[in-house]
């Protein structure tokens, strides 16, 4: 099955602690159906003391399940469900709101 969300997409988080936040998809984890979204679902992570300096706490993005994300359509700018369509025999994603194919 083709993925509805891809790296580089802008998505809206629709559930969880980052609900309502929009961000860019930095990474997809296909095996887990999860994505890393820039600035969303931040968790604190301890970084051990190393050559760069003392130990510190950094915030990193934890993966979010794809079902908790909605694609922001690059054509109409609205959060939308993704469908599929064929353009010249090639399967493309499609915005269900404006019916435009999305790369």
Contacting positions for Zn ion (CB under 5 A):
73, 75-76, 95, 97-98
* Least distance to Zn ion, CB of residue 72, Å: 9
Nearer residue to Zn ion within complex by CB, 24 or 78: 78
Pair of tokens at residue 63:
């993966």
Find, among 91, 84, 73, the residue nearest to 11 by Cα. 73
Sole residue written with tokens 């079902």? 67
Pair of tokens at residue 19:
């609900």
* Least distance to Zn ion, CB of residue 66, Å: 19
DSSP state of 78: S
* Least distance to Zn ion, CB of residue 95, Å: 3
Nearer residue to Zn ion within complex by CB, 16 or 79: 79
Nearer residue to Zn ion within complex by CB, 35 or 72: 72
DSSP state of 4: S
Nearer residue to Zn ion within complex by CB, 36 or 102: 102
Query: What is the distance, to the nearest Å, from the Cα of residue 17 to the centroid of all Cα atoms in its chain?
Result: 15
């Amino acid at each position: 099955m083709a993925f509805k969300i891809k790296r580089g997409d802008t998505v809206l988080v629709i559930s969880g602690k980052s609900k309502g936040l929009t961000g860019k998809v930095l990474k997809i984890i296909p095996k887990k159906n999860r994505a890393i979204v820039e600035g969303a679902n931040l968790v604190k992570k301890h970084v051990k003391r190393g050559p760069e300096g003392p130990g510190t706490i950094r915030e990193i993005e934890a993966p979010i399940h794809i079902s908790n994300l909605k694609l922001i359509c690059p054509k109409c700018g609205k959060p939308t469900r993704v469908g599929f369509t064929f353009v010249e025999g090639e399967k493309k994603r499609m915005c269900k709101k404006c019916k435009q194919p999305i790369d």
